[in-house]
Structure 1
Amino acid sequence: MTESHFKSVWDAIESDASQAENLKLRSALMMAIAERVKARGWTQSVAASHCGLTQPRVNDLLRGRISRFSLDALVNIAAALGMQVRLEVDAA
């Protein structure tokens, strides 16, 4: 048995490098949004009203169901919460 080392869990579970990068970005946004909701002490229903979502959709977000959110949707949710999203691109 050989041992493999990866930079992130997303690199380990996704063989397509572009998909792994997309997952990394979505994960980071989901965690930042969840932290904002927690910091404000909002219930899922209150967060939903601020984000323009349903409570079950907020539940999916806060439970980390990453496959249910596109990068575009997460940027829109972050913007609705008054967050500024920045993208940094580096050479591989």
Structure 2
Amino acid sequence: MTEVEASSGNVYEDFATPNANEMRVKSQLAAKIGEIIKARHLTQVQASEILGLSQPKLSEMLRGKFRGISEAKMMECLSLLGRDVQIVVKSAPRSRKEGLIEVVFA
């Protein structure tokens, strides 16, 4: 019988990836950037011109290789693609010692 282990909800954390939370956030931002590019029927060349990234850098980001791209740059990309980006800081529940960083798309 195959043993199954429940996920923490963060695949990067499950595989003990360094900076797991940052990687999860970046993956969510990259996925949304990719969705918008696809919905607008943009080529990677067209999108890279809009975003101020080289086409190879954009391609890498969309394939999950985004270690060299900051979260701030990814949020700027969303803005350049016509999306409002808000950062909301609020108190964490007392049941948790640390705050939570998450991406919520409206």
**1:70 deviation in Å?**
1.6
**Is the counterpart of residue 14 in structure 1 residue 21 in structure 2?**
no
**1:25 deviation in Å?**
1.1
CA distance in 2, matches of 1:40, 1:15: 33
**1:14 deviation in Å?**
3.2
Alignment root-mean-square deviation, CA? 2.3
Aligned length: 89
Please list the CA deviations of residues 7-34 of structure 1 after superposition, one character each: whole Å capped at 9, or x if unmatched.
2202212366xx2221121111000000
Q: TM-score, normalised to structure 1's length?
A: 0.78
Alignment of 1:63-82 (within 5 A): 63-82=63-82
Q: Which has the larger radius of gyration?
A: 2
**1:66 deviation in Å?**
2.5
CA contact (8 A) 2:30 2:74 kept: yes
**1:55 deviation in Å?**
1.1
Greater helix fraction, Structure 1 or Structure 2: 1
**1:81 deviation in Å?**
1.2
